[in-house]
């Protein structure tokens, strides 16, 4: 008993007053509005521990749901750390992970094969393309990407093809037809996409009372992280688990809802307390991350949003440095400025791993990379292609999927001619025809068709493929996964193919495959440990491995090898992270807020939240930059500074123009036009940035930047014919144009 009291003390002691109220709340339901950097995860972890320590629930009664594997793992680890209990019987996981686990358990009830597999959005798109072709709709009229968006949206909203909303638009009917056919194909092939996981899990609970009651009985205490990001079906799914008696704790921040475009409904958190009588709402507003200056600016910005529950961050930290605003001449100049300041940070004792450069769209990283490389600063781009999405890895996975489930037609199509063995589009089309007529899989069709084919290159190739699969498949009974993968790579010729590809990427691809084999080995190990004995075959572990891979975003990759690297990522992928020094680049109207989201209020508010998220990543110092001219496909030409800049309190901002070595006083007026003028004057020189000049030898150009004064004054001119050149003003004969 004294241990219990000790434990309860240990749980509450490190918390502030509001956090304590949340953790120990006796209310039936709890809504924690957790501002950025306010100790959100800590509250959720401690509340779980509190339930356990106070005897309200045992670990098996708790369901904790997150959106990312990373968050789920972190939660699990921190619970284990706080209370010394094994966490293996906790239900902690992502929406998809938990729903998937339930699907596996009840696959019979759902009419799913026991070896059903998960397809990612890439596979989904391929399958949809094929479906469109199969139906025979004109691809011009039915863009696969749009069809994919439609289907996922339907599923996110809980609508099956037969539930289609009446619509006057003929294309809706067309998309729905694709949806219907696609659904059938998935069923036949034993495939489940991401949205399907959630929808099926919801329908299972909705339609089967016994199942529903069993889970309701089990999960007396439900906790949900990042609740502002839940979509319709996730909300309903939670509703099913909640029933009348269970208690739920939701944690989230409506000001950080930035995934509305993916179906997330901020309204879910807005209306939660109304729909759940007995809800206590707690606001975590003390921030442990940023300076008061940064928080004030962020508070001021987000106050412009109308639809919000309302929250104001504060901190006990110092005021800190002002936010530095830099209006660059162009994107090069912007990148140079950022790199310059990052260097300064390092030279004055900071670490480059503390530095993050955030941007609205991925394309912006290119210039930054270029300048970083030139400056020889180490950097790492986050959120690019995920490890398991690399082409060579997906090829190997395609083979494995086929081994796990011979009816997996998309997998068949991916690998039947990989490496090229003469089985082209024509041959596959024939197989598809056979498969369709007899309602069998492509694999079966291939085996059946083979003896009737004309001898030749095509038949040889297909025969090779079939033999390879059968051979390796037989071995799956006797060898473990890593060995199986190696055999597969050899037997299929994929290993040789990758090695023999010309180009500089070969080396990396080979390395990736090696790493994949290693990952497979690790997986087999942990699988064996769970089963309590080493498996002498891959049959059992393979489907589970594939599911794990499909539901793994590949976050592990970002963990390694990032010592003292500057981090580059989009604002979206920065959510949940923090950095001592943050640069937000490309704050231009059109880019950020993105022009497609600038008109409608709701969309603009989401852009503003994105800006808020970006700003609140910064711990010590925040830079915001924009380029007056940006060469950017589609959005070329000159841009105004982002309207968000004007929404920041002027007294928290210092405006700087690095290249001319002058610090400008804070903007006098918020008007971009006024600012533009004052900013482009080069102090002490008779030229302005962006001015056109003519040189006797180099021709016409534009003043890009300048430095020095008097005799030492130099200007950088970007010439149309010969590119940028630095010229000493004293010698170069320039004339204004």
Interacting residues toward DNA by CB under 7 A: 67-70, 94, 96-97, 120-121, 139, 194, 226, 229, 259, 261-262, 264, 360-363, 366, 383, 386, 417, 420-427, 458, 551-553, 555, 569-570, 572-573, 594, 596-597, 633-634
Active-site residue identified among 66, 124, 216, 256: 256
The CB-of-537 to DNA minimum distance in angstroms stands at 27
The CB-of-665 to DNA minimum distance in angstroms stands at 34
**How far apart are the C-alpha atoms of 549 and 401, rounded to whole Å?**
11
With CA atoms as reference, report the closest residue to 85 among 7, 180, 151.
Answer: 7
Burial class of residue 420 (count of CB atoms within 10 Å of its CB; 0-12, 13-18, 19+): exposed
Helix axes 481-492, 506-531, angle to 10 degrees: 150
Q: Is 617 a catalytic residue?
A: yes
Tell whether omega for the bond before 335 is within 30 degrees of 0, i.e. cis.
no
Active-site residue identified among 225, 253, 331, 408: 225
Rg (CA), the chain: 29
Of 324 and 597, the one with the shorter C-beta distance to DNA is 597
Q: Is 40 a catalytic residue?
A: yes
Torsion of CA 438, 439, 443, 444, to 10 degrees: -40
The CB-of-715 to DNA minimum distance in angstroms stands at 22
Of 46 and 155, the one with the shorter C-beta distance to DNA is 155
Q: What is the CA angle 466-470-472, rounded to 5?
A: 120
Looking at the DSSP bridge assignments, the partners of residue 590 are: 594
Distance of CA 352 to the CA centre of its chain: 23
Active-site residue identified among 42, 76, 617, 630: 617
The CB-of-254 to DNA minimum distance in angstroms stands at 13
The contacts of residue 459 (CB under 8 Å, 6+ apart) are 450, 453
Instruction: Determine the longest span between alpha carbons in the chain, in angstroms.
Output: 91
The CB-of-548 to DNA minimum distance in angstroms stands at 10
Active-site residue identified among 10, 28, 41, 562: 41
Of 30 and 423, the one with the shorter C-beta distance to DNA is 423
The CB-of-576 to DNA minimum distance in angstroms stands at 8
Of 343 and 594, the one with the shorter C-beta distance to DNA is 594
The CB-of-194 to DNA minimum distance in angstroms stands at 4
With CA atoms as reference, report the closest residue to 151 among 133, 129, 118.
Answer: 129
DSSP 594: B
Structural contact between residues 705 and 719, judged by C-beta atoms closer than 8 angstroms: no
**How far apart are the C-alpha atoms of 355 and 347, rounded to whole Å?**
13
Of 345 and 412, the one with the shorter C-beta distance to DNA is 412
Of 121 and 438, the one with the shorter C-beta distance to DNA is 121
The CB-of-358 to DNA minimum distance in angstroms stands at 10
Active-site residue identified among 40, 130, 265, 390: 40
The CB-of-664 to DNA minimum distance in angstroms stands at 30
Of 119 and 495, the one with the shorter C-beta distance to DNA is 119
Q: Is 225 a catalytic residue?
A: yes
Distances 98 to 66, 511, 548, 641 between C-alpha atoms, Å: 10, 32, 12, 44
Of 450 and 479, the one with the shorter C-beta distance to DNA is 450
The CB-of-290 to DNA minimum distance in angstroms stands at 21
**How far apart are the C-alpha atoms of 82 and 75, rounded to whole Å?**
11
Token pair recorded at residue 631: 């060469």
Active-site residue identified among 226, 354, 605, 607: 226
Of 50 and 379, the one with the shorter C-beta distance to DNA is 379
User: Long-range pairs for 130-139 at CB < 8 Å and ≥24 separation?
Assistant: 130/410, 130/413, 131/178, 131/181, 131/182, 131/185, 132/178, 134/181, 134/432, 134/436, 135/177, 135/178, 135/181, 137/174, 137/177, 137/178
**How far apart are the C-alpha atoms of 197 and 250, rounded to whole Å?**
22
**How far apart are the C-alpha atoms of 35 and 283, rounded to whole Å?**
8
**How far apart are the C-alpha atoms of 398 and 86, rounded to whole Å?**
36
Of 148 and 620, the one with the shorter C-beta distance to DNA is 148
**How far apart are the C-alpha atoms of 209 and 193, rounded to whole Å?**
25
Q: Is 689 left (phi over 0), alpha (psi -120 to 50) or beta?
A: beta
Residues tagged active-site: 40-41, 225-226, 256, 617
């Amino acid at each position: 008993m004294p241990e219990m009291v000790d434990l309860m003390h240990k749980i509450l002691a490190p918390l502030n007053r509001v956090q304590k109220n949340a953790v120990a709340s006796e209310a039936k339901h709890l809504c924690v509005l957790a501002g950025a950097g306010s100790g959100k995860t800590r509250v959720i972890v401690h509340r779980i521990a509190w339930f356990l320590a106070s005897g309200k629930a045992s670990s098996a009664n708790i369901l904790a749901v997150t959106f990312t594997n990373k968050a789920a793992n972190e939660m699990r680890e921190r619970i284990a750390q706080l209370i010394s209990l094994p966490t293996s019987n906790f239900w902690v996981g992502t929406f998809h992970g938990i729903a998937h686990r339930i699907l596996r358990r009840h696959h019979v009830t759902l009419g799913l094969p026991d070896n059903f597999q998960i397809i990612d959005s890439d596979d989904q798109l391929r399958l949809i393309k094929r479906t469109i072709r199969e139906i025979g709709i004109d691809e011009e009229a039915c863009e696969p990407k749009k069809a994919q968006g439609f289907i996922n949206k339907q599923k996110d909203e809980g609508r099956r093809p037969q539930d289609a909303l009446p619509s006057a638009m003929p294309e809706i009917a067309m998309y729905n037809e694709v949806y219907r056919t696609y659904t059938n194909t998935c069923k036949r092939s034993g495939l489940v996409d991401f949205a399907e996981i959630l929808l099926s899990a919801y329908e299972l609970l909705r339609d089967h009372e016994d199942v529903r009651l069993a889970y309701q009985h089990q999960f007396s205490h439900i906790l949900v992280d990042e609740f502002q990001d839940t979509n319709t079906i996730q909300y309903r799914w939670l509703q099913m688990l909640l029933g009348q008696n269970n208690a739920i704790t939701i944690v989230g921040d409506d000001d950080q809802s930035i995934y509305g475009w993916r179906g997330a409904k901020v309204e879910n958190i807005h209306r939660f307390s109304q729909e759940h009588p007995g809800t206590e709402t707690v606001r975590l507003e003390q921030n442990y991350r940023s300076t008061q200056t940064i928080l004030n600016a962020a508070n001021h910005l987000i106050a412009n949003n109308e639809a919000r529950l309302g929250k104001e961050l504060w901190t006990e930290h110092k005021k800190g440095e002002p936010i530095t605003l830099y209006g660059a001449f162009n994107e090069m100049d912007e990148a140079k400025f950022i790199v310059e300041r990052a260097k300064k940070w390092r030279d004055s004792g900071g670490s480059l791993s503390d530095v993050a450069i955030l941007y609205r769209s991925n394309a912006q990283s290119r210039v930054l990379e270029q300048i970083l490389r030139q400056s020889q600063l180490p950097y790492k781009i986050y959120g690019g292609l995920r490890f398991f999405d690399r082409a060579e890895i997906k090829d190997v996975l395609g083979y494995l999927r086929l081994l796990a489930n011979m009816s997996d037609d998309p997998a068949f199509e991916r690998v039947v001619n990989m490496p090229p063995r003469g089985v082209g589009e024509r041959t596959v089309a024939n197989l598809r025809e056979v498969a369709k007529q007899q309602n069998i899989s492509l694999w079966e069709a291939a085996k059946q068709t083979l003896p009737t084919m004309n001898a030749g290159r095509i038949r040889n190739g297909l025969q090779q493929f079939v033999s390879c699969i059968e051979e390796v498949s037989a071995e799956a009974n006797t060898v473990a996964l890593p060995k199986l993968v190696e055999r597969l790579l050899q037997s299929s010729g994929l290993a040789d193919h990758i090695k023999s590809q010309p180009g500089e990427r070969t080396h990396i691809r080979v390395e990736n495959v090696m790493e994949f084999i290693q990952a497979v080995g690790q997986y087999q190990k942990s699988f064996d440990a769970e089963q309590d004995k080493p498996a002498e075959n891959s049959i059992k572990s393979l489907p589970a491995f594939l599911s794990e891979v499909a539901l793994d975003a590949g976050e592990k990759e970002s963990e390694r090898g990032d010592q003292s690297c500057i981090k580059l990522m989009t604002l979206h992928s920065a959510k949940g992270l923090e950095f001592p020094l943050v640069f937000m680049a490309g704050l231009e109207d059109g880019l950020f807020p993105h022009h497609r989201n600038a008109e409608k209020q709701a969309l603009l508010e989401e852009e503003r939240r994105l800006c808020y998220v970006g700003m609140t990543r910064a711990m010590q110092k925040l830079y915001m930059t924009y380029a007056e001219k940006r060469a950017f496909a589609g959005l070329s030409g000159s841009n105004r500074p982002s309207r968000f800049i004007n929404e920041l309190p002027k007294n928290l901002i210092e405006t700087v123009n690095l290249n001319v070595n002058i610090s400008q006083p804070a903007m006098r007026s918020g008007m971009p036009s006024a600012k533009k003028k004052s900013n482009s004057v080069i102090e002490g020189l008779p030229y302005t940035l962006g001015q056109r000049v003519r040189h006797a030898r180099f021709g016409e150009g534009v003043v890009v930047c300048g430095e020095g004064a008097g005799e030492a004054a130099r200007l950088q001119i970007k010439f149309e014919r010969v590119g940028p050149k630095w010229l000493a003003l004293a010698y170069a004969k320039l004339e204004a144009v």
